[in-house]
A = this chain, B = another copy of it.
């Protein structure tokens, strides 16, 4: 694996896992009032487009890590909907 791929995967893994502390915090506090749901809809579309871009460039770091981010975005939208109703 070359340096370029390592940088790409490191970047992708960090931006992908950045949603995880947010998900844990919402699950723990059981509130989502200060979290904007619009942010995660915009992110969802953005991450889906990054996946498409990664496929077009035949670039694994972009495709795989944005695929994971897309799943996190969907989870955040569900949690935000669930806890903002309380």
The yes or no answer to A86 lying at the interface (CB within 8 A) is: no
A81 to chain B minimum Cβ distance, whole angstroms, is 14
Report A1-34 residues with CB < 8 Å from chain B CB: 3-4, 7-8, 10-19, 21-22, 24-26, 29, 31-34
Given that A7-B53, A56-B4 are contacting pairs, would A21 and B34 also be in contact in the complex, using a CB cutoff of 8 Å?
no
Q: How many chain-A residues does the 8 Å CB contact rule pick out?
A: 43
Query: Does A49 interact with chain B (Cβ within 8 Å)?
Result: yes
Give residues in A with beta carbon < 8 Å to B: 3-4, 7-8, 10-19, 21-22, 24-26, 29, 31-36, 38-40, 42-43, 45-47, 49-50, 52-53, 56-57, 59, 61-62
